[in-house]
Amino acid sequence: MKKLFKTFLTIVIIFALVIIFTFAVVSIRMTGQVKAFDKTNIDLSQVADGVYTGHSETDLVKVEVRVTVAEGMIRDIEILKHECGKGRPANEIVNDMIEKNDIEVDAVSGATMSSEVIKDAVRDALRWQIGILTTFKGQDLLHFARICHLSRSMYKNRDTGSLDKSAQTGA
């Protein structure tokens, strides 16, 4: 009986150590991913009025947002998708961003990683509009993306001969 108990206890301890190790590795990896986010300040006065979508993700958190900007101010931030563990309270961060008209607000306590991913998704939406992008092999990704978006809109409306206005504004 003692041998069976020792075996069981050993298995439980090994299982617990594996879980702790896995959690530590994932936490370290997520922290590194969040630290790698481009936190370049976005001057909202440079953002044209419009509605923009942005996306950001880490291994465990995925966020997609729709940001409405008017007269140099964030008017609305809608979270279209937020896949996370217990980070759902981070959704409240958008209220602070709108109220302070700033992306760089304090993270929601207990949902720090989700808060940071939401902020990065908002930066992503606005970054595309004002052209703060890193380049890939010397090509201007913003220019390429706008050409693709404009071409898609022109193709979509080829029968009417009209150009989709959202293609020009990024909406």
The predicted-structure confidence for 9-60, as pLDDT tens digits, reads as follows 999 999 999 999 988 888 888 888 889 888 888 888 888 899 999 999 998 8
- Do 120 and 171 share a domain, yes or no? no
Domain count, the chain: 2
pLDDT tens per residue, range 74-87: 999 999 999 987 77
Q: For 106-167, list the strands marked E by DSSP.
A: none
The reply to whether 18 falls in a domain is no
Same domain? 76 vs 104: yes
Q: Is residue 21 part of a domain?
A: no
114 and 89 in a common domain: yes
Residue 163 counted as domain residue: yes
Rounded mean pLDDT of the chain? 79
Residue 168, pLDDT above cutoff 60: no
Q: Could you list the residue range(s) of the whole structural domain that residue 68 is in?
A: 37-132
Identify whether the C-beta of residue 81 lies closer than 8 Å to the C-beta of residue 64. Answer: yes
Q: What is the pTM for the complete model shown? A: 0.68
